[in-house]
Amino acid sequence: GAVVSQHPSRVICKSGTSVKIECRSLDFQATTMFWYRQFPKKSLMLMATSNEGSKATYEQGVEKDKFLINHASLTLSTLTVTSAHPEDSSFYICSARDFLEREGTDTQYFGPGTRLTVL
Amino acid sequence: AQKVTQAQTEISVVEKEDVTLDCVYETRDTTYYLFWYKQPPSGELVFLIRRNSFDEQNEISGRYSWNFQKSTSSFNFTITASQVVDSAVYFCALSEARAAGNKLTFGGGTRVLVKP
């Protein structure tokens, strides 16, 4: 299947700094990518839908100024956690949608996740 | 609104026992897709199965089997003859907007611990 990468896999930062997480689709183009967040021992919650060339669509309760999403190309979406605080510590997982209308296939591939720890 | 419920938060079994994970979902869509994912301690989600709402056939893949019952809105997952490597968190999920590749609503997950 298709491959989605995330970088970094793990990051530790100080409170107040900003952290950028990259999500790349390695062998397909993704007009849509999704960002999920997972607290320890909890489920995955969708944060936002990232659309190439346009603004991201945020889920209710997610601060768009806090979690900046940029989908500048068909293979890259970035999530920037601005002015991070300890409560932002979490596991962030992205996914990329591989939609091939001509072939009638529509599949979401997940990245390996990024573990963010804010001290 | 879509909702996925996994009532069992944790199941502990001894190796070689069978274990069944329950999943109940709610959706207003007549066409939808259901998924099961495995999340080992490493954190990466491992895709197990995708089923569309029109296909109610049960499926078996090795030691894994799935029972889809549209009448009760359930999509249960059974691991036969469990092994220690099956220890992980398992998530049931539902795609939105009638599209298989669209955003997912996840259940709360069931942690499976298989003891030797």
Give residue-wise pLDDT tens across range B54-106.
888 888 889 999 999 999 999 999 999 999 999 999 999 999 766 766 889 99
pLDDT at B37: 96
**Mean of the per-residue pLDDT values of chain B:** 92
Q: Which of B9, B25, B34, B45 would you mutate first to test chain A, the one with the most A CBs within 10 A?
A: B45
pLDDT category at A101 given cuts 50, 70, 90 is: confident
Is there a contact between A87 and A115 (Cβ–Cβ < 8 Å)?
no
Of the CA atoms within 13 Å of residue A109, those in its CB half-sphere come to 20
Task: Inform me whether the pLDDT recorded for B44 exceeds 90.
Answer: yes
Whether A96 contacts A28, CB under 8 Å: yes
Among A46-60, A93-107, B29-43, name the one with the lowest average pLDDT.
Answer: A93-107
Inter-chain CB proximity B43 and A91 less than 8 Å? yes
Round to whole Å and give the CA distance between A43 and A36: 10
**Interchain proximity B102–A97, CB inside 8 Å:** yes
Q: What's phi and psi for B72, nearest 5 deg? A: -110, 10
Mean pLDDT of B43-49: 93
| Average pLDDT across chain A, whole number | 93
User: What is the model's pLDDT at position A105?
Assistant: 82
- Residue by residue, DSSP assigns A46-82 as EEEEEETTS--EEPTT--TTTEEEEEEETTEEEEEE-
The model's pLDDT over A11-36, given as tens digits with 9 standing for 90+, comes to: 999 999 999 999 999 999 998 999 99
A65-88 pLDDT, tens digit per residue, is 999 999 989 999 999 999 999 999
Q: Does A44 touch chain B (CB under 8 A)?
A: yes
Alpha carbon distance B21, B75 (integer Å): 9
Asked if the model's pLDDT at residue A102 lies above 70, the reply is: yes
What's residue B97's pLDDT? 64
- The answer to whether the Cβ–Cβ distance between A97 and B107 falls below 8 Å is no
Res B98: pLDDT: 65
Answer for the pair B94, B6: CB distance below 8 angstroms, yes or no: no
Question: What pLDDT shows up at residue B102?
Answer: 86
pLDDT at B51 over 70: yes
Q: With an 8 Å Cβ cutoff, are B107 and A43 in contact? A: yes
String of b and e for B74-89 (b: at least 16 CB within 10 Å)?
bbbbbbeebeeebbbb
Contacts of A78 (CB under 8 A, 6+ apart): A20, A21, A22, A23, A69, A70, A71, A72
The residue written with tokens 């962030």 in the block is: A92
Q: Which of B44, B47, B106 sits opposite A44 (nearest CB)?
A: B106
Question: In angstroms, how far is CA A86 from the centroid of its own chain?
Answer: 19
Which amino acid, one-letter code, is at A76?
L
For position B5, what pLDDT does the model report?
97
Which of A11-20, A75-84, A98-107, B32-41 is the least confident region? A98-107
Residue closest to A1 by CA, chosen among A96, A118, A102, A119: A96
